Amino acid sequence: MGRENTSKTHQMTHRFPIKEIARQAGLGLATVDRVLNDRRHVSPQTKLRVKAAIEELMAQEAQLAARGRRLFFDFVVEAPGRFSHEIRMATEAVLPKIGAAVCRPRFLMQDIMAEDEVEQALMRILKRGSQGVCLKARDTPRIRQTVQTLTAARIPVVTLVTDIENTDRLAYVGLDNAGAGRTAAYLVAQVLGSTSGTVLTTRSHEQFLGEEARESAFVAELTRQCPNLQIVAVRGGSGIDFETSKLLARSIEKIRDLRAVYSMGGGNRSILRTLADNGLNPRVFVAHDLDRENRALILDRRLTFVLHHDLQLDITNAFNAFLAYHRLSSAPPETPISTVQVLTPESIPNRSEPHFPQG
């Protein structure tokens, strides 16, 4: 008996002795044999117990196989240093909690990464090998094609915070961006009501799909709730202070009766400074992510709301997707998307400014 089972379910996964399955399921050998050979007079509950036992044995086998195994994962991130720092901190916080394997991250993080720089970085990773790439990059044809090249070479790609469309990437982890945009519109509408005037929206780049989804949802919802408000959009600057300020200054004459700002891509200190230099003081300022800059600004009450999400959860979901791909853990039914958290000056966790290591 042992390994002679011919069940289709069994053949598609690992093969275990019937004794082992019976012990795991708490059933008799004859009962397990009937289930595995699809014989009659077996209840659905018994079939489920046998199926669950096989899945549990598979998970245990994967854990045994993973002991001492070292996996290398590459983080390729285009983001301002303040956000890259948050990603690195979240990754370092998550790593000790991963028990399925020893995971070693390698980071390539730059404020601005042109399309060819991302492509070259990914091709270097392809050449040296990797167990997975966590990617925050613009959605462009060449980057899409390079992602396809990686996945064809069995290097899985998980997109972080902003997605890459029409690729075989393994998963997207990060915020529900459209939900965040609608939340921002709701907050602005609650404060301004039927007021007329201008709302400024800012994005770091036109080719980040996450910010595009935020903006589209925000504009649609705010137009529905507050038809008297006019929206002026400024796109570019990559969230870098000088570039963001320069682009905003070029559009400043379009802004009259400024009531609110929805900043999707950062650079908020420079946005506030440029607006103040031109005599503009919004009643509502909605920003994204509780990084060091935004923490200081909201505690000074220069930001009204910060839309935040659990970056550690995102990184955990990325590692879970990679480990499941390599059959070192059971695959989740689907990768969850982070829900938005609305923070105010009164709800900031650890209100005293923490010490952040420089990096």
Kindly state the average pLDDT of the residues 32-50. Answer: 87
Give the span between the Cα atoms of 163 and 202, in whole angstroms. 19
Name the residue with higher pLDDT: 99 or 45. 45
Judge whether residue 5 has pLDDT over 50.
Answer: no
- The reported pLDDT for the residue numbered 41 is 85
* C-alpha 168 chain-centroid distance: 17
Name the residue with higher pLDDT: 42 or 117. 117
Last residue of a domain, one of 45, 66, 87: 66
Judge whether residue 9 has pLDDT over 70.
Answer: no
**90 and 169 assigned to the same domain:** yes
**281 and 320 assigned to the same domain:** no
Sheet with 102-110, side-by-side order of all strands: 102-110, 70-78, 133-136, 157-160, 171-173
Identify which of 313, 282, 309 has the alpha carbon closest to the alpha carbon of residue 91.
313
**234 and 88 assigned to the same domain:** no
311-352 tens-digit pLDDT? 999 999 999 999 999 988 876 667 778 899 999 999 987 654
Weakest mean pLDDT among 78-87, 222-231, 259-268, 327-336: 327-336
- The reported pLDDT for the residue numbered 68 is 58
- The reported pLDDT for the residue numbered 354 is 41
Quick check: is 124 in a domain? yes
Which structural domain range is residue 272 located in?
177-308
Kindly state the average pLDDT of the residues 85-112. Answer: 89
277-293 tens-digit pLDDT? 999 999 999 999 999 99
| Ordered DSSP codes for 8-77 | HHHHHS----HHHHHHHHT--HHHHHHHHTT-SS--HHHHHHHHHHHHHHHHHHHHHHHTT-EEEEEEEE
- The reported pLDDT for the residue numbered 45 is 85
**139 and 261 assigned to the same domain:** no
Residue 337's region, left for phi above 0, alpha for psi from -120 to 50, else beta, is beta
- Pairing mode, strands 258-263 and 284-288: parallel
Q: Is the model's pTM score more than 0.85? A: no
- The reported pLDDT for the residue numbered 337 is 87
Q: How many structural domains comprise the chain?
A: 3
**189 and 225 assigned to the same domain:** yes
53-91 tens-digit pLDDT? 887 777 666 655 555 578 899 999 999 988 999 999 999
Judge whether residue 3 has pLDDT over 80.
Answer: no
Quick check: is 355 in a domain? no
Last residue of a domain, one of 18, 35, 66: 66
**196 and 256 assigned to the same domain:** yes
Which runs of consecutive H residues, i.e. helices, occur in 256-357? 268-277, 292-299, 311-325
Quick check: is 353 in a domain? no
Quick check: is 234 in a domain? yes
- The reported pLDDT for the residue numbered 211 is 92
**118 and 93 assigned to the same domain:** yes
Judge whether residue 4 has pLDDT over 80.
Answer: no
- The reported pLDDT for the residue numbered 199 is 96
Kindly state the average pLDDT of the residues 184-213. Answer: 93
CATH code of residue 218? 3.40.50.2300
Quick check: is 242 in a domain? yes
